[in-house]
Amino acid sequence: MDVTIYHNPRCSKSRATLALLEEKGITPKVVEYLKTPPSEQELSTILSLLGMGPKDLLRKKEAKDAGIDPALDGAALIAAMVANPQVIERPIVLTPGAARIGRPPESVLEIL
């Protein structure tokens, strides 16, 4: 199965989600999104797969620290998230046609 994880190695939930995937015998493509942020199109696709709007994927404290107004419209919020990837909730696991946030890590099992 083609599995991708948008991963932050400094985040305990992200590390736990990656370990859970590996325990299940899955070797995901690991994207360290702080180093390689998704494009606006990729983030839009991820949001669609998650069934969420941009505000739902925004880490509130980090957004405030980055000066991002959560009241921005969708396209502006996506652009701000791509420019400031630390404000994107993590980890995100993608499979063909589905996505889940690994909070808790076990929630990604629904799409495997």
Q: Which domains does the chain have, with CATH numbers?
A: 1-33+90-112 (3.40.30.10), 40-87 (no CATH)
What are the tens digits of pLDDT across the range 34-92? 999 999 999 999 999 999 999 999 999 999 999 999 999 999 999 999 999 999 999 99
CB-CB neighbours of 36 under 10 Å: 9
Question: Which residues, other chains included, contact 91 with Cβ-Cβ below 8 Å and sequence gap of 6+?
Answer: 5, 6, 7, 8, 11, 13, 14, 17, 18, 101, 102
- In the numeric block, which tokens belong to residue 83? 């420019």
The dihedral through the CA atoms of 65, 103, 42, 31 has a sign that is positive
Predicted local distance difference test score (pLDDT) of residue 16: 98
Catalytic sites, residue numbers = 11
What are the tens digits of pLDDT across the range 1-17? 899 999 999 999 999 99
